[in-house]
């Protein structure tokens, strides 16, 4: 078991039936179904339903969910006005955090924190979050607002962001990314959401806290840092020397290692194949070769495998997604998991209140103020 100074690594902090990470063999399951099976045979909406209801939807149930999402996508005018009023250089994750917080005040179930109301809020958040991210992307790209079209979350998001219907390949790629990143046990943002939800506050408060945690570069920002690395490496021929030089300076190479996986991250394995398939048609086909070299050097030198962020950066970039939106799109995906964890916490709640090991001073006394110096 990990000691108390290691960020609680290895310490079980609660029970959940949502997802399971087997770090020894490199397996991830949602509700007992392997991530590779879900990636091959389901859509993101089906995965969200699975996380919420512990069963994959029937055709009728999926159609009903799709209708609910279509009905909930639109953002209230004051939310759009707030996004437009933010400074032009606002970090998109900050804009998303602000929008989700405001949406809580406009939610039809505002003030009702029952489990049934929270389930309805979860559907609306799943529908609204990709619209928020797309609108932020449009604004920062110099475009005005646009109404999101009906349809699957992935295709509607891309159509809104780029002002054009996406190719089938692009829509399927984003849908796969959303499936792969939907949930991952008690990661930092999910645990933050559960701690907040355990106080019996509202769904939007818990999700706003989760977004704040995901914003940190040690959690959600690694994918953008990976692209920054690829941009610095001029060609695949320079990749090995670039990595070795930074390792010699004890610099962190983003996109490698994981708190739980001791072997390959199964999501990275799937993403590697996606990046390979997209490379020939991308503007920077050499990035995949560069990534493979970096991956090989890190495994050889540090015995570290790539994680989900490493190839996700290449996949996003191959589709023309602006780097500033990498982490917000991660939030679009993780919204399914976050809301499922809040619902699970609410269904069997006990406030989360751990203890701290005190390591400070002892037996001190107050010195009168005129004797301090």
Predicted confidence at residue 237, as pLDDT, reads 94
Residue at 8 is within a domain: no
Kindly indicate the confidence band of residue 24, based on its pLDDT and cuts at 50, 70 and 90.
Answer: confident
Euclidean distance between CA atoms 133 and 220, whole angstroms: 15
Mean pLDDT taken over the chain? 93
Q: How far is CA 343 from CA 51, 75, 213, 346, in A?
A: 10, 23, 19, 5
Residue at 365 is within a domain: no
Predicted confidence at residue 3, as pLDDT, reads 53
Predicted confidence at residue 10, as pLDDT, reads 75
- pLDDT at 289 > cutoff 90: yes
Kindly indicate the confidence band of residue 2, based on its pLDDT and cuts at 50, 70 and 90.
Answer: very low
Highest mean predicted confidence (pLDDT) among 11-25, 270-284, 338-352: 338-352
**Overall domain count for the chain:** 2
CA atoms within 13 A on the CB side of 175: 23
Question: Is the separation of the CB atoms in 185 and 168 below 8 Å?
Answer: no
Euclidean distance between CA atoms 344 and 321, whole angstroms: 33
Reported as a single tens digit per residue, the pLDDT across 316-333 is: 989 999 999 999 999 999
Instruction: Give the mean pLDDT of 285-308.
Output: 92
- pLDDT at 4 > cutoff 60: no
Residues 33, 122 within the same domain: yes
Instruction: Give the mean pLDDT of 122-150.
Output: 97
Range of the domain at 268: 222-318
CA–CA–CA angle 69, 74, 76 (5° rounding)? 135
CA–CA–CA angle 71, 76, 80 (5° rounding)? 125
Predicted confidence at residue 108, as pLDDT, reads 98
What element of type H or E holds 30? strand 27-30
- pLDDT at 359 > cutoff 50: yes
Q: Which two tokens stand for residue 196?
A: 């907040």
Residue at 74 is within a domain: yes
- CATH number of the domain enclosing 259: 1.10.230.10
Reported as a single tens digit per residue, the pLDDT across 152-208 is: 999 999 999 999 999 999 999 999 999 999 999 999 999 999 999 999 999 999 999
Predicted confidence at residue 164, as pLDDT, reads 95
CA atoms within 13 A on the CB side of 204: 24
**Residue bearing the bigger pLDDT, 13 or 151:** 151
Residues 211, 113 within the same domain: yes
Q: If you search the block for the tokens 């399914």, which residue do you land on?
A: 336
Residues 127, 239 within the same domain: no
Residues 247, 143 within the same domain: no
**Residue bearing the bigger pLDDT, 220 or 59:** 59
Predicted confidence at residue 5, as pLDDT, reads 54
Predicted confidence at residue 6, as pLDDT, reads 65
Q: Which domain-ending residue is among 270, 303, 318?
A: 318
Inter-helix orientation angle 92-106/77-85, to 10°: 150
- CATH number of the domain enclosing 147: 1.10.580.10
Residues 81, 172 within the same domain: yes
Residues 199, 256 within the same domain: no
Residue at 357 is within a domain: no
Question: Is the separation of the CB atoms in 319 and 169 below 8 Å?
Answer: no
Reported as a single tens digit per residue, the pLDDT across 304-319 is: 988 888 898 889 989 9
Residues 30, 178 within the same domain: yes
Residue at 226 is within a domain: yes
Reported as a single tens digit per residue, the pLDDT across 234-249 is: 899 999 999 999 999 9
H-only helix segments in the chain: 35-41, 44-53, 59-72, 77-85, 92-106, 115-140, 153-162, 168-180, 188-197, 203-214, 222-232, 236-248, 266-278, 286-302, 308-318, 326-347
CA atoms within 13 A on the CB side of 311: 30
Residues 144, 244 within the same domain: no
Predicted confidence at residue 221, as pLDDT, reads 77
Percent of the chain clearing pLDDT 70 (strictly above): 98
Residues 132, 228 within the same domain: no
Instruction: Give the mean pLDDT of 63-67.
Output: 98
Euclidean distance between CA atoms 189 and 235, whole angstroms: 35
- pLDDT at 110 > cutoff 60: yes
Catalytic positions = 258, 309
Q: Quickly list DSSP for 109-146.
A: TTT--SHHHHHHHHHHHHHHHHHHHHHHHHHHTT----
Residue at 355 is within a domain: no
Question: Is the separation of the CB atoms in 152 and 48 below 8 Å?
Answer: no
Reported as a single tens digit per residue, the pLDDT across 94-109 is: 999 999 999 999 999 9
Euclidean distance between CA atoms 366 and 290, whole angstroms: 61
Question: Is the separation of the CB atoms in 260 and 293 below 8 Å?
Answer: no
Kindly indicate the confidence band of residue 25, based on its pLDDT and cuts at 50, 70 and 90.
Answer: confident
**Residue bearing the bigger pLDDT, 4 or 350:** 350
Instruction: Give the mean pLDDT of 61-75.
Output: 98
Centroid of chain to Cα 291 = 21
Residues 184, 113 within the same domain: yes
Q: How far is CA 354 from CA 3, 8, 14, 112, 174, in A?
A: 15, 11, 11, 28, 38
Residues 109, 245 within the same domain: no
Q: pTM for this structure?
A: 0.92
Pairing of strands 27-30, 33-34: antiparallel
Residues 299, 205 within the same domain: no
Residue at 363 is within a domain: no
- pLDDT at 115 > cutoff 70: yes
Residue at 196 is within a domain: yes
Indicate the SS3 state at residue 27. Answer: strand
Predicted confidence at residue 261, as pLDDT, reads 76
């Amino acid at each position: 078991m990990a000691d108390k100074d290691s960020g609680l690594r290895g310490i079980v902090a609660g029970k959940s039936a949502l997802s399971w990470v087997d770090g020894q063999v490199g397996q991830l399951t949602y509700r007992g179904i392997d991530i590779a099976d879900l990636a091959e045979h389901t859509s993101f909406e089906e995965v969200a339903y699975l996380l919420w209801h512990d069963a994959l939807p029937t055709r009728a149930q999926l159609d009903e969910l799709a209708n609910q999402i279509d009905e909930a996508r639109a953002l209230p005018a004051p939310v759009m006005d707030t996004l437009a009023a933010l400074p032009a250089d606002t970090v998109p994750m900050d804009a998303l955090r602000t929008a989700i917080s405001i949406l809580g005040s406009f939610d039809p179930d505002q003030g009702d924190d029952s489990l049934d109301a929270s389930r309805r809020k979860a559907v609306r958040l799943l529908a609204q979050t990709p619209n928020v991210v797309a609108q932020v992307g449009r604004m920062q790209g110099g475009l005005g607002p646009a109404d999101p079209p009906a349809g699957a979350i992935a295709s509607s998001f891309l159509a809104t962001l780029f002002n054009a219907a996406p190719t089938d390949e692009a829509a399927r790629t984003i849908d796969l990314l959303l499936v792969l990143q939907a949930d991952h046990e008690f990661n930092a943002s999910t645990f933050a959401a559960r701690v907040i939800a355990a106080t019996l506050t509202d769904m939007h408060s818990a999700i706003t806290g989760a977004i704040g945690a995901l914003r940190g570069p040690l959690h959600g920002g690694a994918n953008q840092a990976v692209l920054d690395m690829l941009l610095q490496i001029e060609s695949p021929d320079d990749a090995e020397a670039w990595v070795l030089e930074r390792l010699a300076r004890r610099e962190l190479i983003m996109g490698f290692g994981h708190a739980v996986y001791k072997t390959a991250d199964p999501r990275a394995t799937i993403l590697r194949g996606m990046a390979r398939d997209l490379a020939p048609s991308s503007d920077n086909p050499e990035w995949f070769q560069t990534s493979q070299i970096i991956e090989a050097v890190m495994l050889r030198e540090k015995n570290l495998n790539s994680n989900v962020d490493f190839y996700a950066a290449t996949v996003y970039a191959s589709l023309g997604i602006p780097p500033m939106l990498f982490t917000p799109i991660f939030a679009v995906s993780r919204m399914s998991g976050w809301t499922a964890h809040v619902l699970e916490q609410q269904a069997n709640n006990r406030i989360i209140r751990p203890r701290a090991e005190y390591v400070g001073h002892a037996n001190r006394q107050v010195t009168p103020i005129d004797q301090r110096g």
